Each structure stands twice: as C-alpha cells, then as structure tokens.
Chain A
Amino acid sequence: QKEVEQNSGPLSVPEGAIASLNCTYSDRGSQSFFWYRQYSGKSPELIMFIYSNGDKEDGRFTAQLNKASQYVSLLIRDSQPSDSATYLCAGNTNAGKSTFGDGTTLTVKP
C-alpha cells in the first residue's frame, strides 16, 4: 500500500462544474498536506496546503482535511479548461519529508 493514494483518473468534468479530487494517506506522522498541479511536461506547482482539520478556501479552490479518516480532498469550483492537468497530493512530516501520490488526471471539457 502506498503511503499516499489517489485515484489515477482520468476525471472528466464539463466547464463550469465542480471537480472533486481525493487523497488518502496512511502515515499518521504526516502533519500537513499540499496540492500541486502539474501540466504535461512541466514541474509541479503549488496550489495550496492545509494542516488543520476542516476546510480551507483560496479562490476557486477548497482543500478539506479529515485527520481521523486520513483523508484530504481538493474541490475546484467553476472548472476551466486551463485546469486540465494532473493534481498531486503530498503529505509532509515534521521533518519536512514529502510523500507524493501518483496524481489524478483532470480533464475539463469546454
């Protein structure tokens, strides 16, 4: 079992819809969680991070964390074709070690 699990997808949503991306983790030493977006052939770029239980909103993006269930999610509202990418979930320990999932590929259809 991988330490960070994501559905590989592809996840396809119509433009303007809400895209929901999910991630589960097994290492209870993970304290904070990061969502990265990676376009094909490019390096990961940070979308947002979360370390407290509950929701955190940043523009069209909302991250949700449930430590009891070891579950992290990312919601993208009003999805745009430019959101089409692979979304990586990563868990960080207090020592700064990051463990990445294999990513979920999102396609937003115009």
Chain B
Amino acid sequence: EAGVAQSPRYKIIEKRQSVAFWCNPISGHATLYWYQQILGQGPKLLIQFQNNGVVDDSQLPKDRFSAERLKGVDSTLKIQPAKLEDSAVYLCASSFLAGGLQETQYFGPGTRLLVL
C-alpha cells in the first residue's frame, strides 16, 4: 500500500512570495489533515478535510493560507504572501475516517519550507 505522498520535499522562497504544497493521501482515506510543525514544536493542525468538506480550519491563518481538496482525493495548501515565521515543515496526514477511537493518522514525508 502506497503511503501519503507530498511534494515538493523542500522549498526556499523569499518573504512575500507565494508557495503551494501538494498532498496525495492513502487510497480510500476520507480524512486529510495539514499540519505545520515549527522546529522544536509539535505539529499544529491547520485544516482537516472529510472527503472534500472542511471539518476544522480554526487555526488556519486565512488571510494568507488557503487549502482545497477537490474531488475528495488530493489536496493543495497555499501560502500567499509568505512571512518569515512560516518557515516550518508542512505535514500532510490521512486517516480512513475521523473520530473513531482507534483512528490512526498516517503522515507523509513533509515539505520543508524556508522563507528568507
């Protein structure tokens, strides 16, 4: 079974530029998550999709971040314009469903973003 795929793996941009990340979840997984992990911290949930609907985006900085999951499969996360504090690893995860006590999230390799 293929895991969660993410691209690109690394990205360096200057502040005020825009950037987009792509994620393809495990086949058949209805729930997709985007996390931001700043060095030395745990992952922070940015947005959670159930199929192509948004379940939770309470911590997404909506003035600069946007995400979509068209057709309920792969997803893109965009930052426009980027700030220095956006430098982090962006992790995508998926799970079969959401809310089950045993529901396990599977993480992709992440995209390392450096904003100069």
Contact = CB atoms under 8 A, between A and B. Distances in A.
A96 B42 contact: no
Contacts of A51: 101-102
A28 to B, nearest CB: 15
Contacts of B45: 97-99
Interface residues of B, number: 29
Nearest to A43: B107
B95 to A, nearest CB: 7
Secondary structure dominating the interface of B: loop
B109 A43 contact: yes
Nearest to B4: A43
A25 interface: no
Q: Which size bracket describes the interface of A in this complex?
A: 20 to 34
A33 to B, nearest CB: 10
B92 to A, nearest CB: 9
Contact of A44 (B40, B43, B44, B55): B43
Interface of B: 31, 33, 35, 40-45, 48, 50, 55-56, 91, 95, 97-110
Q: Sorted from nearest, which 8 A-B pairs have the closest CB atoms?
A: A96-B98, A100-B42, A43-B107, A51-B101, A96-B99, A32-B101, A102-B42, A100-B43
